[in-house]
Chains A and B, each alone.
Chain A
Amino acid sequence: MGEMEQMKKEAEALKTQIEAARKAVHDTDMASAASGVAPAPRVQLKTRRNLKGHLAKIYAMHWSTDNRLMVSASQDGKLLIWDSHSGNKVNAVPLKSSWVMTCAYAPSGNLVASGGLDNMCTVYNLKTPVIKTVKELDAHTGYLSCARFLSDTEVLTASGDTTCALWDLETGKQKTVFLNHVGDCMCLSLSPDMNSFVSGACDSLAKLWDIRDGQCKQTFLGHTSDINAISFYPGGNAIITGSDDCTCKMYDLRADQELITYQDAALNSGVTSLALSMSGRLIFAGYDDFNCNIWDSLKGEKVGVLSGHDNRVSCTGVPPDGMCVCTGSWDSFLKIWN
């Protein structure tokens, strides 16, 4: 037996042991534990704002930390910065490549970033008299599926080349490369304490990474198809994932396993995006079937639907103060609900 074969056997043995260890602490399931909790009231949200301005499919959106401004990216080749409360477009950033897949707002509000099929993450300064490109982060060998700012000096990216990377914005170089996924990385989410992040990929796995040492700390299994969306639960002890297998799942980092699956027999389309309400109790998940479904994260029940888009919901976001939820769609509109 070759070395490779032996290693494969060893890896399989370890995985079996991990499964056994997980089963050993599985003394209850979330649904039973939450049976005593009052059900979330049936949620009926109204559209408070309808933001029109993009001319083609919207692929991504991200709230600013000031709870009012947001950035959205569309295949019409533009990033739009909105004062979503007034509905005004504050800025328009023309993109070099219209095949954009992600956008991000820096916590300081000074910078925004975008990326996509050009394999690059481009960072723009919003505070100069004319919006300037600050840096083009170019080292990935696959499309850029997600980007997030840690600060005005560091950016995290997830790419179709199966890696994630931490970049230094001054040098424009990768400081750390996170290697472990075997499928395209589709999404990432920063932990509240900014010391770690989780990523979801086409290998149907979610992984937890330590930002400082670049190591993959935990791997979460369970999905049977690409994970398109991922988010940390407030508090930083659990994560929620959304997948093409039409389900969302909650994994707990301390129990090292899946707690709940959010699924429904009538739901026959993949999850494209998700966002959590500020307490984590509600999950807003966007689906391919043009709706955004609302789940009670503790009881695993569907408690509402946001219907109104004429095409697939591609992105969702809840601002830091949790006052509303925004959905963006291939129908070129952004809607704000609460």
Chain B
Amino acid sequence: MAQPSSCAQSSNGVADESPNMLVYRKMEDIIARMQDEKNGIPIRTVKSFLSKIPSVFSVCVSVRLCVAVEALHLGTLMAAHGYFFPISDHVLMLKDDGTFYRFQTPYFWPSNCWEPENTDYAVYLCKRTMQNKARLELADYEAESLARLQRAFARKWEFIFMQAEAQAKVDKKRDKIERKILDSQERAFWDVHRPVPGCVNTTEADIKKSSRMKQPHKTRKSVYGLQNDIRSHSPTHTPAPDAKEPVLLSSLQIQHWQTQLDRHRLKMSKVAESLLSFSEQYIEYDPFFTTPEPSNPWISDDVTSWELEASKEAGQQRVKRWGFCFDEVLKDPVGREQFLRFLESEFSSENLRFWLAVQELKKRPIREVPSRVQEIWDEFLAPGAPSAINVDSRSYDKTTQNIKDPGRYAFQDAQEHIYKLMKSDSYSRFIRSSAYQEMLQAKKKVKPLKRLETAI
């Protein structure tokens, strides 16, 4: 038989390997341990009715149930990929019932990137029909496949038949025991690449992976050494565009690394602390940890929770969230309303109204942007504007420049300044205000405001 080449590795090593190779190597590690002479699984010849069954092992799982389930799952996966197989079944899975299994020979391992052609499959099925053994009789789905292949390869069937004959001859010359083992291994190989209908085909590739720019080198040799002239081609792959302008790209990369190096990094301990406290704060809002009030619609089939969320009334829990950070107020429409009300009482509502207007501007269709930019400028920033906001001179100058060529981000600097102002100043007062505290203690029910919430 022809020797397959293993998957090519590029000069960089890891990244160019097929993603499956990592998985295959892990499985092969486990196989090696299973086959270890001293500590592996005992493989033996079993006496059966009229003959001997060579080189098998059976599974007996004697551990805790959850571990057993995992072990069987892992075993079935390895069987489905073709590393071992039940000797008398086409369906590749691992069962804890005394069934006998045999290891696959490394020649047929999936890590050799086999992509066997239908001509090979035809030779194989044809060969099977030539061997007068009950155990080699074709299953229904195999007989169907053979009929289909005969129609597809009608013109070259003589050639296929000859190959099958030649293979059968070679097989006959082998020792009986050796033949039994090799036959079963060959069958298992085809069970992986041409699975029983209804079984999962583990060689199926995700279309994203088969369309990858860098294609792993697939084995183009035939399983039976056929010279195939109508071999189908693997999906076209254009060679990876090797640095269009290498020097330019490299200098951009260097800039990037320099920027990244100059970043300020926070200590891990601080970062961990912040993540832990975030989690602690929000866990009571996470339906996987805290049963939502009144109920989870997916469990109870009662949609009240959703209706409440959509309504303008805010319960205590919802109000509490506004106290976590300024963004929570801005995220919740009811929070925004209440904050706006508070700002009005302080005569600084123009800040929030400006912020909301700019957010809304970013979603506008491009043709409406220039006129909207002008409106916002006139209302909030122009000299003598009715809702004049206070921005620092730098942002003001920049914005003055931006509106000459108005785009969606014309007010970005001003918006950031106003955001920081509200966050550090108005927000903290809002949280301490009696209005908010009363809502928090549910002393006063939060009712929807009568007027509509508009930006201007």
The interface of chain A, by Cβ under 8 A from chain B, is 3-4, 7-8, 10-11, 14-15, 17-18, 21-22, 24-30, 33-34, 37, 40, 43, 48-49, 67-68, 85, 99, 101, 116-117, 142-143, 145, 151-153, 160-162, 168, 170-171, 180, 183-184, 186, 192-193, 202-204, 212, 215-219, 224-226, 233-235, 237-238, 244-246, 252, 254-257, 259, 266, 268-270, 272, 277-282, 288-291, 297-298, 310-311, 314, 321-324, 330, 336, 338
Residue of B nearest to A193 (CB): B327
List A contacts of B232 (CB < 8 A): none
Contact in complex: A202, B367 (CB < 8 Å): no
B385-440: which have CB < 8 Å to A? 409, 412
List B contacts of A143 (CB < 8 A): 207-208, 211
Contact in complex: B261, A26 (CB < 8 Å): no
List B contacts of A288 (CB < 8 A): 23
Cα distance, A202 to B212, chains bound together (Å)? 8
**Stretch of B44-52, B168-176, B278-286, B374-382 lying at the A interface:** B278-286
Cα distance, A305 to B131, chains bound together (Å)? 46
Contact in complex: A278, B286 (CB < 8 Å): yes
Residue contacts A-B, CB under 8 angstroms, 16 given: A25-B268, A40-B289, A85-B303, A152-B363, A161-B213, A168-B366, A183-B213, A192-B327, A202-B212, A252-B268, A255-B268, A266-B70, A269-B23, A279-B285, A280-B282, A281-B289
B250-268: which have CB < 8 Å to A? 250-254, 256-261, 263, 265-268
The interface of chain B, by Cβ under 8 A from chain A, is 14-15, 17, 19-20, 22-23, 26-27, 30, 70, 73-74, 77-78, 200, 204, 206-209, 211-214, 246-247, 250-254, 256-261, 263, 265-276, 278-280, 282-283, 285-289, 292, 296-299, 303, 305-306, 309, 327, 362-367, 409, 412
Most chain A CB neighbours (cut-off 10 Å) among B214, B265, B275: B275
Contact in complex: B272, A254 (CB < 8 Å): no
Contact in complex: A145, B208 (CB < 8 Å): yes
List A contacts of B252 (CB < 8 A): 180
List A contacts of B251 (CB < 8 A): 7
Cα distance, A261 to B256, chains bound together (Å)? 26
Residue of A nearest to B29 (CB): A268
Query: A7 and B247 in contact (CB under 8 A), knowing A143-B208, A338-B296?
Result: yes
List B contacts of A297 (CB < 8 A): 279
List B contacts of A310 (CB < 8 A): 200
Contact in complex: B208, A184 (CB < 8 Å): yes
Contact in complex: A322, B288 (CB < 8 Å): yes
Contact in complex: B27, A99 (CB < 8 Å): no
Contact in complex: A278, B366 (CB < 8 Å): no
List A contacts of B362 (CB < 8 A): 151
List B contacts of A277 (CB < 8 A): 286-289
Most chain A CB neighbours (cut-off 10 Å) among B19, B206, B267, B288: B288
